[in-house]
A = this chain, B = another copy of it.
Amino acid sequence: MPFNSFDHYPMSWKPNKNQLRRPIYRSLAQLLEHDINHGFLAPGTKLPPQRELADYLDVNFTTITRAYKLCELKGLLYGVTGNGTFVGANAARSVTISKEHNSNKVIDLGFVASYEQTNEMVSEVIKQVAEKNYLEQLLNYNDPSGIPHHKLAALNWMQTLGIQADTEHVAIVSGAQNAIAITLFALFEPGNRIAVDVYTYANFIEISKMYQIRLVPILGDEHGMLPDALEEQCQQMNIDGVFLMPSCANPTTIMMPIKRKMELAHVIQKYALILIEDDFHAFLSAGTIDHYGQPMYQMLPNQTVYICSTSKSICSGLRVAYVVFNEVFKSKMIKAIYNVNVKTSSLDVEIITELILTGQAQKIVERKKQLAEEGSQLFRKYFSLSPQAGHPLSFFRWLPIPQSKKNLLTERYFLDNGIRVFHSNRFLSSFSKEPDHLRVALSSTSNMEELKVGLKLLSELLNLYQR
């Protein structure tokens, strides 16, 4: 007979004993998943200790361990030895951020687009490409990892970002998200652990959940992830990789100075982690910002997959990204690219290549920088920036907001009032006590006037929200 009287000190979760079928651990995990997904267990809830629940259900405590673990792999829970097991911040919902059909009344400061105003410059080049007399050669199955000529343009482009590589160690894929999916697929297995910033790219959290990668949040400061914190976690558990966006972390806008990169590289090397370096804002940093230095790929070529998307810098709709890797990863990466994509449309890549080789891409970048500068100025008009404001040209801002009990309803509140923004919780893989933020995209409205209206409305709403 159980020692405690459970009625007096009720557990946070009491599964119905009668609903349990064999195997118990699966059945229990199912009940747990159901209760989380249906809101009976709020994010952050501390679950009953394994032994206590086991006692209550009259089973061995490792049966509970196993049930909890199933849910952990699905990204619903996380456990802390000596402390307890908790429901994850985003257990109950998908945090995927995608472009949605808004009603016309809503101004989208949520999804980060890329100042799509520049796309007409691309249309021109499409017409030029269509006149080429070798179009047929772009329409077959040849060169699954990219036509050599396209790869050369890629290397040319990435050279300005500080990347040195050759055509044998670059491949063309369909955008950065696609590159991430392929890299996870190629180099990681379900159950592996990847270290991430406490706040990290929401779609990375989501794809990790899907592929059953366990994320290990690492503390950071104003220069990004802390090497000591990473090392500590590496000592404590078996970590397989680390995901970083050094050129401008999403959502925090932190740009990692070269010094921090080197310190982190040291730890990454020491523990033989695989680094996924998503350098999506490099085109706004390299050659523009002093202490930017170079990509981490250059420090750790044998351990890094470097991802350079052209979606933010050149054109979002053509879905072209470059992936750079060393010989050790090559065969696995090529195989994964084939398994996921077969290949990326050579027509699209031809257009990007033409943009690069004719110098049009550089003009687009200049224009986007200009727009980013304008967007930033508008933002500063309505909100004060802290001295540690992150990347000056970032396509989005990380705006501290007062703590509120609304919490999960925050996004709803703004949406109902005509603004789409994302709450910091969406970028959490476990939980955090840091102050709440909003991520505010500056690059998604169709013009600056709309952005201005949006930011003004947001600042007004925020004043009301505080009370």
Assuming the contacts A136-B119, A189-B212, asked whether A144 and B99 have C-beta atoms less than 8 A apart, the reply is yes
Interface residue? A267 (CB, 8 A): no
Interface residue? A96 (CB, 8 A): yes
Q: Among A202-210, A229-237, A297-305, which stretch is in contact with chain B?
A: A202-210
What sequence of 0s and 1s flags, for each residue 157-189 of chain A, a beta carbon within 8 Å of any chain B beta carbon? 000000000000000001101100100010001
Interface residue? A268 (CB, 8 A): no
Q: Which A residues between 328 and 379 are near B, CB-CB below 8 angstroms?
A: 335-336, 338-348, 351
Question: What is the total number of copies of this protein in its complex?
Answer: 2
Question: CA A94 – CA B318 in complex, angstroms?
Answer: 31
Interface residue? A389 (CB, 8 A): no
Q: Are B126 and A140 in contact (CB under 8 A)?
A: no
Interface residue? A65 (CB, 8 A): no
The size of the chain A interface, using a CB distance under 8 A, is 60
Question: CA A136 – CA B127 in complex, angstroms?
Answer: 12
Q: Are A113 and B140 in contact (CB under 8 A)?
A: yes
Q: Are B210 and A336 in contact (CB under 8 A)?
A: yes
Question: CA A98 – CA B96 in complex, angstroms?
Answer: 32
Question: Which residues of B sit under 8 angstroms from A175, Cβ to Cβ?
Answer: 341-342
Question: Which residues of B sit under 8 angstroms from A409, Cβ to Cβ?
Answer: none
Question: Which residues of B sit under 8 angstroms from A344, Cβ to Cβ?
Answer: 174, 319
Q: Are B135 and A347 in contact (CB under 8 A)?
A: no
Assuming the contacts A339-B207, A339-B210, asked whether A317 and B348 have C-beta atoms less than 8 A apart, the reply is no
Q: Are A343 and B319 in contact (CB under 8 A)?
A: yes
Question: Which residues of B sit under 8 angstroms from A24, Cβ to Cβ?
Answer: none
A342's nearest neighbour on chain B, judged by CB, is B177
Q: Which among A99, A101, A116, A340 has the highest number of chain B CB atoms within 10 Å?
A: A340
Question: Which residues of B sit under 8 angstroms from A140, Cβ to Cβ?
Answer: 99, 113, 116, 119, 316-317
A residues contacting B by CB (< 8 A) are 94, 96, 98-99, 101, 111, 113, 116, 119-120, 122-123, 126-127, 129-131, 135-136, 138-144, 174-175, 177-178, 181, 185, 189-190, 203, 206-207, 210-212, 311, 315-319, 335-336, 338-348, 351
